[in-house]
């Protein structure tokens, strides 16, 4: 197993793990009180957080052995990359404060392959409706079949359904954990975790053996948003932590979508609000593919090497099995909840379904007319949104898609810019960015 992390980054990551309990006690949960604490220098972090363990923390830093840490990773079959290495996920560098180290299962080459193509993050509540579970499973299955790397958090509910769907579609999904990459959480998803290790990858910013804590869940959400060019909220309440992932994606200028939910259901109140504020409507995997590749991909989809259409036979060895009721069954405690009575039609291979070449064609609007509101109703970059929308994004010709030196931002990673309402792109979890580190 390859460990391409420098000693300084390994030590920094180990210190955060060592102080994890104190961070939980001092900072609490997901209410943005983390501020800039994780962006402090090692000495300032110890002074601010360690409290009665200050002496222990300083001794830990002075006695830290990077070679021993690398050997421990090798015994666990894990790898590690830091920001000084070329194999570090480049999309995470757009974060205000990217993790110093990413720990992962599988080889570094396999991780790079997963992130080399299109990546979509799918998230949602831990207590979803039956409708949301069915949608999550089918979205994961069809995107996995299409060759998209599907990212989620391995949590109960929507996350687990997404992972199971991607595996059923022959995909190679990626899970981001709030604890160490060797600590399946929750324990009830241990069998799913094992399948993820074999078929995809599990990653974390915390060293092996670390248990998840309240503050580490929103911290991992920024990684899920940072890895993907599209984040989709399948179902979320108004107070769901899932919305933190959408907020991070907004700050990064990445695409955000949401699945329409029952308007009378509190379980979908948060995701429905995202739609009201301008997030893309994701009715099917085809809508997600349109957001990733552009409208009208159904006609073009699957004609390139390594990518196949939903109606095509996948390559040998990656033939997905049919979705079963067990794959998307709700938790027993959710029985009788406010679910839809019938699942949505998420198929994209119906020969009778002719998808319009654009959203305006779908509504029968003339793109050159003022009535063509969908051309100006977007969010996050492909279409301009009317003023006031919380999910407004710069269009492809917008000056905010251009760097200060006049060069363009690469597609899908447009750099940080203020969120609607004038707020700064500084991370609410990690605070202002830290100065660049010198290469060792």
Tens-place pLDDT, residues 107-155: 778 899 999 999 999 999 999 999 999 999 999 999 999 999 999 999 9
The pLDDT, as a whole number, for residue 1 is: 57
> What percent of the chain lies above the pLDDT cut of 70?
65
Cβ–Cβ under 8 Å, residues 394 and 420: no
d(CA 203, CA 220): 10
Tens-place pLDDT, residues 237-262: 999 989 999 999 999 999 999 999 99
Its pTM stands at 0.71
Say if residue 353 is exposed, middle or buried (CB neighbours under 10 Å; 0-12, 13-18, 19+). Answer: exposed
The residue with tokens 């679910």 is 339
More confident position, 330 or 247:
247
Is pLDDT above 70 for 32?
Answer: no
The residue with tokens 């991992």 is 220
Phi, psi torsion values for 104, nearest 5 degrees: -155, 155
Phi, psi torsion values for 141, nearest 5 degrees: -65, -50
Token duo for residue 45? 């972090």
The pLDDT, as a whole number, for residue 34 is: 55
DSSP labels for 98-127?
--SEEEEES-HHHHHHHHHS-EEEEE--SS
Cβ–Cβ under 8 Å, residues 81 and 87: yes
- Catalogue all structural domains in the chain, each as residue range(s) with its CATH number: 78-314 (3.40.50.450)
> Checking DSSP bridges between strand 174-176 and strand 149-152, what pairing results, if any?
parallel
- Region 50-79: mean pLDDT is 94
DSSP labels for 315-357?
PTT-PPPPP-GGGGPPPGGGTTSS--SS--------TT----S
Say if residue 195 is exposed, middle or buried (CB neighbours under 10 Å; 0-12, 13-18, 19+). Answer: middle
- Order of strands, sheet of 280-281, starting from the edge strand that comes earlier in the sequence: 3-4, 78-82, 101-105, 201-204, 174-176, 149-152, 119-123, 230-233, 255-258, 280-281
The pLDDT, as a whole number, for residue 278 is: 96
Is pLDDT above 70 for 236?
Answer: yes
Alpha carbon 412 to chain centroid distance? 14
- Region 34-42: mean pLDDT is 73
Average pLDDT, the chain: 75
Helix axis angle, 242-251 to 269-276, nearest 10°: 20
Nearest to 420 by CA among 382, 394, 383: 394
The pLDDT, as a whole number, for residue 288 is: 97
Cβ–Cβ under 8 Å, residues 46 and 24: no
| pLDDT confidence band for 38 (50 / 70 / 90) | confident
d(CA 431, CA 429): 6
Question: Rounded to the nearest 5 degrees, what angle is found at the Cα of 267, between the Cα atoms of 264 and 270?
Answer: 95
| pLDDT confidence band for 97 (50 / 70 / 90) | confident
> Checking DSSP bridges between strand 101-105 and strand 78-82, what pairing results, if any?
antiparallel
């Amino acid at each position: 197993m390859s460990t391409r992390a420098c000693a300084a980054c390994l030590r920094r990551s180990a210190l955060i793990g060592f102080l994890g309990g104190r961070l939980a006690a001092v900072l609490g949960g997901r209410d943005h009180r983390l501020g800039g604490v994780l962006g402090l220098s090692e000495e300032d972090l110890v002074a601010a957080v360690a409290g009665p363990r200050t002496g222990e923390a300083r001794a830990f830093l002075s006695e830290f052995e990077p070679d021993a840490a690398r050997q421990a990773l090798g015994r666990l079959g894990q790898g590690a990359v830091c920001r000084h290495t070329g194999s570090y996920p480049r999309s995470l560098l757009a974060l205000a404060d990217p993790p110093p180290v990413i720990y992962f299962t599988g080889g570094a080459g396999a991780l790079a392959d997963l992130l080399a193509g299109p990546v979509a993050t799918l998230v949602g509540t831990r207590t979803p409706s039956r409708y949301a579970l069915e949608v999550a499973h089918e979205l994961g299955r069809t995107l996995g079949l299409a060759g998209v790397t599907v990212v989620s958090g391995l949590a109960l509910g929507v996350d687990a359904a997404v992972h199971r769907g991607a595996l059923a579609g022959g995909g190679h999904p990626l899970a981001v954990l709030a604890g160490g990459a060797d600590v399946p959480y929750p324990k009830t998803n241990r069998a799913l975790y094992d399948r993820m290790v074999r078929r995809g990858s599990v990653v974390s910013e915390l060293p092996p053996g670390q248990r998840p804590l309240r503050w580490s869940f929103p911290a991992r959400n920024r990684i899920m948003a940072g890895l993907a060019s599209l984040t989709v909220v399948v179902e979320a309440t108004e107070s769901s932590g899932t919305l933190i992932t959408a907020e991070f994606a907004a700050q990064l200028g990445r695409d955000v979508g949401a699945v329409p939910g029952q308007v009378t259901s509190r379980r979908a109140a948060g995701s429905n609000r995202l739609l009201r504020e301008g997030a893309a409507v994701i009715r099917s995997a085809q809508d997600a593919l349109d957001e990733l590749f552009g409208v009208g991909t159904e006609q073009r989809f699957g004609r390139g090497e390594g990518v196949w259409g939903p109606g095509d036979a996948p390559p040998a060895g990656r033939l997905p099995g049919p979705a079963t009721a067990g794959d998307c069954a709700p938790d027993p405690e959710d029985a009788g909840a406010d679910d839809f009575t019938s699942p949505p039609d998420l198929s994209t291979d119906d020969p009778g379904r002719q998808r319009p070449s654009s959203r305006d064609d779908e509504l029968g609007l003339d793109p050159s007319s003022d009535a063509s509101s969908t051309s100006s109703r977007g969010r996050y970059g492909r279409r301009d949104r009317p003023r006031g929308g919380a999910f407004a994004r710069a269009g492809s010709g917008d000056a905010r898609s251009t760097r200060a030196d006049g060069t363009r931002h690469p597609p899908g990673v447009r750099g940080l810019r203020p969120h609607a309402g004038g707020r700064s792109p500084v991370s609410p979890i990690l605070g202002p960015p830290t100065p660049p580190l010198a290469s060792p």
